[in-house]
Amino acid sequence: MTRLLTLTFLAASAAMSASAQTPVPAPIFGTNGCAEIAFPAGTLAGLKSHALSSDGKMLLAGWGGNGFPYYACMARIDTACGELDLTFGLNGAQAHHFEQRTICSTVALQADGKIIGGGLIAASNAGSGQFPGVWRYHSDGSVDSTFNGTGYNNIGFPTGSATGKVEEVFIDADGHILAAIIGNAQLGVFRYTTDGVLDTSYSADGRAVMPVGYTPFNEDLGAVMDPDGSVTIAGLVGTSAFDPYFMALARFLPNGDPDPAFGTNGLAMHPNVSTSDLGTPDGFKNWSMVRRPGGGYLVGYGAHDGDTRPRVAAFTDAGALDLSYGTDGIYQFTGSNPVGSGLWMEADGSALLFIRLSNVSNGPGAIVKLMPNGQPDASFGTNGLVQSPFNTRSIAHGLRLSGGDVIAYGINNNNGDGSVVRFSLDANANALPVITYAFPDLVVSGGGSIQWFLDGLPISGATGSTHTPTQNGTYTVEMTSFGCINTTPPFQFLSTGTADVVPSELVIQQDLAAGTLHIRNDGAPTPWSMMDASGRELRTGLFATGSSEIDLAHLRSGLYLLRSKDCVHRFVMP
């Protein structure tokens, strides 16, 4: 996680500022706050899901390709500085498919670090063979063949064509794997054992299913699992292929039975919560669902009213629309074809909505903060909106880290790489270190563990934020902050530096780069005079107590003397 900056200027200053509610990109993360992830074999992929490990690493997953087939794509990074974990996959990233086509919608981590993924697995590109699939990798990204004997399981719905897609996976307290699935006019939850086979103690055959009439080909679904193992689903449904689509919610108890207290026999249909089947191939239209701290749910989804509209709908524990939220139960973001539905729930009941501002120009990404009542939080960014400065990077989803920073991820629409941005609440703490000169010291910005270097060699004992140079040369600082090691741009110190005959309370130092003499007077005010080598007096003045400067820009090349009291300082102008 070491990065050496190659800038060659003498000094720089950062002019970033942010209020407690206005996050800005953290410069120590990736490049100026944005980390790019290139997947093997030229695979183009957008990131859609994440899972955090106990060591602070973040697993990111999505799907893509460069033509047929489609791959499940994963990468593991450090959330502090955005560096790839080289022990994972191929130098931190991988692209892999089961059979001939694998679309990854979601990931989760087992307690032992193994990776559960879910989405779609197919033997070809034919529509009738698109089955819901779950799979398991070892923590290093290699396939775990002990899972169902093959590493994956793509059994489908028990009736009809069996086609469908896993949109969310969960791991319950007993280690069971639960997959929320939509397809073939059904919403469902499949439960698997740790061996990767259906758990027949769950809903008779391991598959809890709720018929809904019709589901479009572009399946959209969000789901949450409660601590007891019950699962609630929100999905895109309709009555036929030619009728408007709308939202339906279903809830299954821990044993797979429909929850009789939810909607009507476990199903809540909302024909007035209209949606759309219009989407984009990178999957930014996928829904998300979160639990509200006080009870109930939020669902992020897309609608189409002439152009695309990200929306958030609120529901009660019983599956009814919560009319107190937003406007009649719904918040809608307006703009020029914005798209996105990724949700993150805050502890106080507010929510972050991750979107991209234009579905036409593919960006930029943005974050909307909604208060618990569904209104934009005006103290967050500009009227509740923080826009990413990385114009071609779309945002699909994200999360807030325990320290308060926000991670947002998606795709770089220019080259198809995965894109991750870390927004910081403390721009100064997350700024790259820079050396400046404050006579008589060199000062490094930022915070963390520090080591000063002169001409590439460490200076013994120089581990503070300031260092008094004793010789000319190239100074750098290696700073370890948030687990990342960053090196400052080189600072060329060119001063002739030390006074040869001066009283102990007076320090005089020349800065050739700035064309000045720096004076620090620790005693009472004292007069001074400057003369050339012939003894001709050029200037006079008074050194005040403290720091002061003498401008040397008007002097020609040669030797000069600066007299103060009974002492003389010699300096040379080149």
pLDDT, tens digit (0-9, with 9 covering 90-100), for 414-458? 888 999 999 998 877 777 889 998 878 899 988 789 999 998 899
Q: Is residue 561 part of a domain?
A: yes
Report which of 352, 402, 380 is spatially closest to residue 24, judged by C-alpha positions.
380
Per-residue tokens: 82: 């955005």
The CATH number assigned to the domain holding 559 equals 2.60.40.3080
Rounded to two decimals, what is the model's pTM? Answer: 0.79
Residue 251 falls in which region: left (phi positive, over 0), alpha (psi -120 to 50) or beta? beta
Q: Is residue 101 part of a domain?
A: no
Position with higher pLDDT, 425 vs 343: 343
Same domain, 363 and 422: yes
Model pLDDT for residues 149-174, shown as the tens digit of each residue: 999 999 999 987 778 999 999 999 99
Same domain, 309 and 395: yes
The rounded distance, in Å, linking the Cα atoms of 122 and 361 is: 31
Half-sphere exposure (CA, 13 Å, Cβ side) for 530? 17
pLDDT band at 538 (very low <50, low <70, confident <90, very high): confident
Collapse the DSSP code of 195 into the 3-class scheme (helix H, G, I; strand E, B; otherwise coil) and give the result.
Answer: coil
Same domain, 329 and 291: yes
Same domain, 351 and 309: yes
Model pLDDT for residues 201-258, shown as the tens digit of each residue: 999 999 999 999 898 866 689 999 999 999 999 999 988 877 778 999 999 999 999 9
Report which of 492, 493, 525, 522 is spatially closest to residue 508, judged by C-alpha positions.
522
In contact, 418 and 46? CB cutoff 8 Å? yes
End of a domain among 407, 426, 445? 426
Q: What is the pLDDT of residue 124?
A: 81
Q: Is residue 398 part of a domain?
A: yes
φ, ψ (nearest 5 deg) of residue 82: 80, 10
Per-residue tokens: 401: 């880290």
Using the predicted structure, report yes or no on whether residue 496 has a pLDDT greater than 60.
no
Torsion of Cα atoms, 24 then 30 then 35 then 41, to 10°: 170
Torsion of Cα atoms, 324 then 328 then 329 then 332, to 10°: -130
Position with higher pLDDT, 347 vs 558: 347
Collapse the DSSP code of 492 into the 3-class scheme (helix H, G, I; strand E, B; otherwise coil) and give the result.
Answer: strand
Per-residue tokens: 294: 């006080």
Structurally, the chain folds into a number of domains equal to 3
Determine the residue type at 378.
A
Q: Is residue 305 part of a domain?
A: yes
Same domain, 472 and 403: no
The rounded distance, in Å, linking the Cα atoms of 440 and 77 is: 41
Q: Across residues 188-204, what is the average pLDDT?
A: 97
Same domain, 408 and 449: no
Same domain, 547 and 478: no
Same domain, 394 and 516: no
Q: Is residue 484 part of a domain?
A: yes
Q: Are strands 484-487 and 2-4 parallel, antiparallel or unpaired?
A: parallel
The rounded distance, in Å, linking the Cα atoms of 290 and 287 is: 10
Q: What is the DSSP letter of 128?
A: G
Same domain, 519 and 471: no
The CATH number assigned to the domain holding 320 equals 2.120.10.30
Q: Is residue 4 part of a domain?
A: no
Q: What is the pLDDT of residue 55?
A: 86
Within 10 angstroms of residue 34's Cβ, the number of other Cβ atoms is 20
Domain hosting 567: range is: 506-573
In contact, 233 and 187? CB cutoff 8 Å? yes
Q: Is residue 103 part of a domain?
A: no
Q: What is the pLDDT of residue 127?
A: 61
Length of the chain: 574
Within 10 angstroms of residue 22's Cβ, the number of other Cβ atoms is 15
Same domain, 367 and 477: no
In contact, 476 and 552? CB cutoff 8 Å? no
Same domain, 367 and 289: yes
Q: What is the pLDDT of residue 361?
A: 61
Model pLDDT for residues 89-146, shown as the tens digit of each residue: 999 999 999 998 899 999 999 999 999 999 999 988 766 678 999 999 999 999 999 9
Same domain, 474 and 514: no
Q: Across residues 338-359, what is the average pLDDT?
A: 92
Q: Is residue 266 part of a domain?
A: no
Report which of 455, 452, 511, 449 is spatially closest to residue 484, judged by C-alpha positions.
449
The rounded distance, in Å, linking the Cα atoms of 418 and 366 is: 16
The rounded distance, in Å, linking the Cα atoms of 10 and 434 is: 9
In contact, 570 and 502? CB cutoff 8 Å? no
